Structure 1
């Protein structure tokens, strides 16, 4: 059975500029790399509905999370929220904006 590796990323608004929308390209690239390495990528958007993300992570108990979040609720000053949650859940992760 393949290990599921979540790729956590911030939601992108419809009117996002190129820099903000770039995270979707990053998610695709990481997904492809994980597949090539034999993992099952799970693209998991992160929003202000934090409990939804926590529920998914608790259910799948991943060995690692690729953290690509750059904001929470489209607020860059809240970029620390996703890594903080991963710390509390004691899940190793990459990236910390």
Structure 2
């Protein structure tokens, strides 16, 4: 099962989010970030539209180019289903749902 380990609240665009994730979870050596673990990103389908900082690339393409594993649906489910699905994934400190 996926684990949410952090939250980035001041990321203002996809390249900034990529930078912040790499700074927090990857090793910086010899002028570049190196993966120390696999990072999985679960964006919604909207990330595949061309409304990113770079109009020629989608947000999902940027995330993949950054070295993350991206799992995105072809279409977004209804909001109610999305909220219920995420809430069902939360566990208490004992790992119980």
TM bracket, shorter-chain basis: 0.3 to 0.5
Kindly indicate whether structure 1 or structure 2 has the higher relative contact order, using CA contacts under 8 Å at least 6 residues apart: 1
Structure with greater proportional strand content: 1
TM-score, L = length of structure 1: 0.37
Structure with greater proportional helix content: 1
